Structure 1
Amino acid sequence: MLLWIIGFSLLGSIGALAGAGLFLLFPEKIRKNLVPCLVSFATGTLLGAAFLGMIPAGLEQAPAIVIMMTVLAGIVFFFAMEKFLLWHHCHDSHCEVHGNAGPLILIGDAFHNFVDGVVIAAAFLTSIPLGVATAFAVIAHEVPQEIGDFAILLDNGYERKQAIILNGLSAAATLPGALAAYFWLGELHAATPYILALSAASFIYIAIADLIPGLHRQVTLADALQQLLLLLAGIGTIAFFHIGG
């Protein structure tokens, strides 16, 4: 059983990163034009993952007031963290470091991937067919997320090699989550709704505070309609896998 869990946790990480890796196959000019589109799409996937996946899952396992307080506390925490990062890197209010969502997107994704590992392990401990189905569901809903995250890292000035390595490290959190759940499922089960709530808080904060303001810099009607459609497409993609699946 442990081999099944390890194998499909690794498959989940690799499968999600493969979608982002395909982005590298496009010429630089095309990638440059695609990045704003993918940031719009990523905004939708972040909001969809938070409001349609993480928060509802947390509410199923803990009292609503506690989950929502954790989400609120998480948003305040990530605000303070970003303020510290900005202060640490730059004391000038016009510093170009402002609005860099890279570190937060990696932290939020690591939380999310860790929880994915817990979910995969729990499913396999129920039955192998359920575990296999859950692992493929994780891959399916993480692919658009990873593509969007990769676009965000590029948009924030990361080199392609840096983005690949950092996304890989974030995706690798799936395996520790699965192993921890396998050996200490009882203890982790109680913490899972709060991990989900904190992950939701980070995704909401990134979407609202870091990504949407950048989208407002493009002011034409065509840009606005494109952004709205792509944002809705991102939400719809997450909804399909969380609700339709």
Structure 2
Amino acid sequence: MIIIYILITTISSGLIAVCMANWLTYNILSKYLHYMVSSSVGVFLSVSFLHLLPEAFSDIPEHSDKLLLAMLVSIVCFFILEKISLIRHNHHYEGDGHGHMHGHDRHDAGKGGVIILIGSSLHNFSDGVLIAASFIASPLLGILTALSIITHEVPHKLCDFVVLRNAGFNRKRIFCMILASSFCSSVGGLFGYLILQHVQQITPYVLIVAASSFIYISISDLIPRMHEQEYPTEHIPQLAFVIFGIFITYLITSFSHNHLGQCNCFICIA
């Protein structure tokens, strides 16, 4: 049954992220993107520190030093991947006010479009593995991890749309390319389920990688983008949306825990 949940979650989360990014790109573009980024920070950090890390450390508390080492190595690896452009790519778009000569971003996009899709596919595959690990640990963690990934993937897929659009691809082709890339999360979910089911002891380490990725994305990518807002009037809304992201995560968690607790009581009575 877990494999069905994993496949449904990975497929639906990919579709939601791609469709939302497509709508934002060809309608209001990134007008409200900074609000989504702020709420993503709240969701990422709260899921990492309130759920993924506690779940990982509760499974093998006697190996906390190894888990912390795995977290350190994961963060360093994400930094290396970012440096070789497997995760991060050009977030600018033609006419975004960065002062480049006309056609600069279009030229970069033409050269880097394939790399962007490869990087996105690898990233989506790893997201699928993380979702699988979370579902194996607990259904609640699986749902929260998937929601966190969606909030992060919408801004990133929006950037993919913008860059590939500048590369000269038409809207239909861009949509199909990014959608195909997003389905790599389902492949990763299936792979993660088949592997982690037989090697349960590595599940805490996968959860550590998940938490590390969320923390690294928040600190290295999302928060610096929030700092790009120079107007003081944006500071309070940013903080409000960060708190909103934390509150939503906490609310979902509390409701789910109460609901699961009642279900377990009924099962025990039966």
Q: Within 2, Cα distance between the matches of 1:243 and 1:210?
A: 29
Are residues 1:15 and 2:30 paired? no
The structure 2 residue matched to 1:155, chosen from 141, 155, 159, is 159
* Per-residue CA distance 1:193-214 (angstroms, 9 max, x = gap): 1111122222211111122111
Q: CA deviation at 1:11?
A: 1.4
Q: Within 2, Cα distance between the matches of 1:106 and 1:228?
A: 32
Question: Per chain length, whose mean CA-contact separation is higher, i.e. which structure has more relative contact order (CA < 8 Å, sep 6+)?
Answer: 1
Q: Within 2, Cα distance between the matches of 1:213 and 1:14?
A: 30
* Per-residue CA distance 1:192-240 (angstroms, 9 max, x = gap): 1111112222221111112211111112222112221222222223333
Tell me if structure 2 keeps the 8 A contact 1:16–1:140. Answer: no
Tell me: CA distance 1:240–1:113, structure 2 relative to 1, closer, same or farther (3 Å).
farther
Aligned to 1:117: 132
Tell me if structure 1 keeps the 8 A contact 2:25–2:158. Answer: no
Aligned to 2:149: 145
Q: Percent identity?
A: 23
* Paired amino acid for 1:20: A
TM-score (norm 1): 0.72
Range moving further from structure 2, 110-119 or 49-58 = 110-119
- Gaps of at least 5 residues in structure 2 are 91-99, 109-115, 165-173, 257-270
Tell me if structure 2 keeps the 8 A contact 1:19–1:143. Answer: no
Tell me if structure 1 keeps the 8 A contact 2:36–2:151. Answer: yes
Tell me: CA distance 1:242–1:107, structure 2 relative to 1, closer, same or farther (3 Å).
farther
Aligned to 2:192: 177
Tell me: CA distance 1:139–1:194, structure 2 relative to 1, closer, same or farther (3 Å).
closer
Q: Within 1, Cα distance between the matches of 2:117 and 2:248?
A: 23
TM-score (norm 2): 0.66
Tell me: CA distance 1:195–1:102, structure 2 relative to 1, closer, same or farther (3 Å).
farther
Tell me if structure 2 keeps the 8 A contact 1:45–1:234. Answer: yes
- Gaps of at least 5 residues in structure 1 are 124-133
